[in-house]
Structure 1
């Protein structure tokens, strides 16, 4: 009887650990978006107007320092830096870090929208790939050839 008792305890422990892990993953703690949400100060008054998916955060640190903190935890797929700020692209999200007073404003937004909004800053570096693949050239005979 004793060996069964330990298997039950081990099974319950595994289930609890799995539940805790899933809660942590789906509670917004994952990815660059979750990192920014947990480590920087929310500043709704700096959200970009007309963009429901945009959320602004602030940091007293300069943009390059903030970018280094974020990329140390979550490596971006593409990164661009110019005088206006640091632009990080992840699979679904973009993190835009720009000077704001003595610190930074950090904008979290959908990667597609960020590309359209900041194209002049990131178009040469981010590139873009459609969900159909980069070699897709249109449909029908003679189209896009």
Structure 2
């Protein structure tokens, strides 16, 4: 009896993890997290692209999955996706890649994102499920 319950619990956990991963991909407008994870080394607070400039890394990410918008400021590249912001900044070892929630990233870097939609405005829809309603 216990083994059957444990098996069901394990199967449920695996299915829940698979569903979470599928939902977090963001579809066609989402950040290509899996690709970034495969291409660059995870350092715990983001990813590192050794010997690469922020512009070349942002271009590679944008080339893999087209961003909704792109901006540059003080040598930092910004890529806007449906619900996320990718920041590629210079690092002494090359470039550092960070992915954060669009709202938080917008507030953190708003001085460079002057033409991007303010997530606190009434007209902001974010690009996620229900976009354009």
In 2, the alpha carbon distance for the partners of 1:108 and 1:102 equals 19
The answer to whether the aligner puts 1:59 opposite 2:55 as a matched pair is no
TM-score by length of 2: 0.64
Which protein is bigger by CA-based radius of gyration?
1
The answer to whether the aligner puts 1:114 opposite 2:105 as a matched pair is yes
Higher helix share: 1
Q: After superposing the two structures, state which structure 1 stretch, 89-98 or 32-41, moved more.
A: 32-41
Q: 2:75 aligns with which of 84, 93, 102?
A: 84
Alignment gaps of 5+ in structure 2: 1-17, 125-133
Q: How does 1:1-145 map to 2 (within 5 A)?
A: 26=22, 31-32=30-31, 33-44=33-44, 47=45, 56-60=46-50, 61-122=52-113, 124-128=114-118, 132-133=122-123
Cα separation, partners in 2 of 1:87 and 1:98, compared to 1, 3 Å = same
Alignment RMSD = 2.5
Alignment gaps of 5+ in structure 1: 1-21, 48-55, 135-145
